[in-house]
Amino acid sequence: MYSLTYIFALYCLSPMIFVYTLVQAVRARDRRYLRGRYGFGHFERTPAPIWIHAASVGEVLAAEPLVRSLKTRCSNQSIVVTTGTPTGGKVARLRLPPGVTQLYAPIDFPGAVNRFLTALAPSCALIMETELWPTLYAACASRNIPLIVVNARLSPRTLSARAWLRRIYKRALGCVDVILARSAKDRDGFVALGAPPERVKVIGNIKFAADPGSAQAVPAPLISRPYVLAASTHDDEERRFVKLWRSHERHGRLLVIAPRHPLRLKGILKQLEPFDLRIAVRSRNDAIDEHTDLYIVDTLGELNGFMANAQVVFIGGSLIARGGHNILEPARLGRPIVFGPHMENFADEARIFVESEAAIQVTDDDALGKALTGLLESPRQRDELGRRARSVIDRYQDIAERYVDEIAAHCRLARI
C-alpha cells in the first residue's frame, strides 16, 4: 500500500532530513530524539499499550485531557505518547500524568516505522489533529492496529495540495478506522480529501475539555505587580506590541511577553534595543522592581501560571499571518482575551468566542491599542469578558469522555 512516488521523494530528501534531525537533537541535547526518529530506542516492554501521537506542543496540550480520561477509564493499560519535536517531548514530560511514557515518533521511512511498531506493538494508534503519514498509516493497517484520528482538523494548505499528493492522502485515509473531527467544516474537508464519509464523525474540539478532576484554584501570582501578558508571540509581534504599549497609558502596569519559541531571546532583545527598556528575563532569574518595563518569559511549562493572574491576555501569532494560538487555556482561567485578525488555525474557537462576546478580536495594531486601553480602564469589563470566556469552556465539560467512548468502540482497551 506504500506510494512509490511518495517513498522515492522521501528518500531523495533523506540527507536533508537526517541533518535537520541531527541539528534538532544537538540543540535539545536529547540523544533519544535522533534514535527515536529512526525507530531505534529502548522501549519499556508493556503489553498492548495505547499509543497517542502528538506532533508538537499544541497537540500535546490537546492530548492532555484525553490522556487523563483514558487513564481513568483504562487504569490497567499503559499509555505511550510520542512527539515529533524535542520541544513537544519536553512539554509532554512536564504536563502528562505519572506513568505515561514519552517517546519520539519515527520519520515516515518504512524501516523506521516498522522498527517502531514492532518494538511498541500498540493495541491502537490515536493520531492527534493533522498528522497524515502514508507509510505509518499503511503499516498500521497491515498489522491490524486500529487507527483513529482524534480532534481531526485540516489546514487550507493540505486541502489545496497538488493532485498527486491528494491521491497519496486519499490512500492514507483509506487506512484509518475512524476520523473524529472537531467540526463539521473539518469533517467536510476530510471527505473532500478522500476519506470514506461513513468513517468521519464530528465530536467537537477536545481542547475545550478541562483536565478530569483538575482543581479550579488560580495559581498564586508569579509577579507582584499588575501586568498584561502577550502570550506565544512570534517574530515582529514583540516589537509591534512594545511600540503600541509605550504609546498608551499603562498606569504602572508591567508588560510580560512569552515568546512562542524561547530560543529567539537574543533576536527579541536586539529588536527591542531602540526602545531603551528596562528588561528582566525569566531564564536569567532577573528580579522585577517598580522600574522594570518588560519581563520576558523565555521558559517552558510556565505559561499557564503567568496567564492565571494577567489582567489581559493577548494571543500571539495573530497580528501576523501565523494562524494564531490556543485561546482555550486563558479562557479556562477566566482571563480577558484579545487576539488579532489571523486566527486561521483556531478559526472555530475564535468564532465561538467572538459570537459569545467572550473575547475581543482586533483588526490591526491601532485597534489592539484601543482594546487594551478600554480593558485596562474598566475592571468591570475585564471581569465580564473573563466570566463569559469561562462560561464558553463550561459548555464542553464532557467532550473528553465523548472521545473516549468513540475510541472504545474501535480499540482493544483493557478496561472500559
The residues annotated as belonging to the active site are: 59
CA distances from 167 to 102, 164, 175, 195 (A): 32, 5, 13, 11
Instruction: Return d(Cα 19, Cα 34) in angstroms, integer.
Output: 10
CA distances from 63 to 95, 221, 351 (A): 10, 27, 22
Instruction: Return d(Cα 268, Cα 213) in angstroms, integer.
Output: 38
Rounded to a whole number of angstroms, the CA Rg of the chain reads: 22
The 10 Å CB-count burial string (b at 16+, else e) for 96-126 is beeebbbbbbbbbbbebbbbbbeebebbbbb
Instruction: Return d(Cα 113, Cα 111) in angstroms, integer.
Output: 6
Instruction: Return d(Cα 176, Cα 149) in angstroms, integer.
Output: 8
Cβ neighbours for 292, distance < 8 A, ≥ 6 positions apart: 225, 254, 278, 279, 280
Instruction: Return d(Cα 224, Cα 301) in angstroms, integer.
Output: 20
> And the C-alpha cell for 226?
499588575
**Residue that has been written with the C-alpha cell 529567539 in this structure:** 264
Instruction: Return d(Cα 287, Cα 21) in angstroms, integer.
Output: 37
Q: Which amino acid is at 206?
A: I
- Helix (H) and strand (E) counts in the chain: 18, 14
Query: Could you tell me which of 45, 79, 76 has the C-alpha nearest to residue 63?
Result: 79
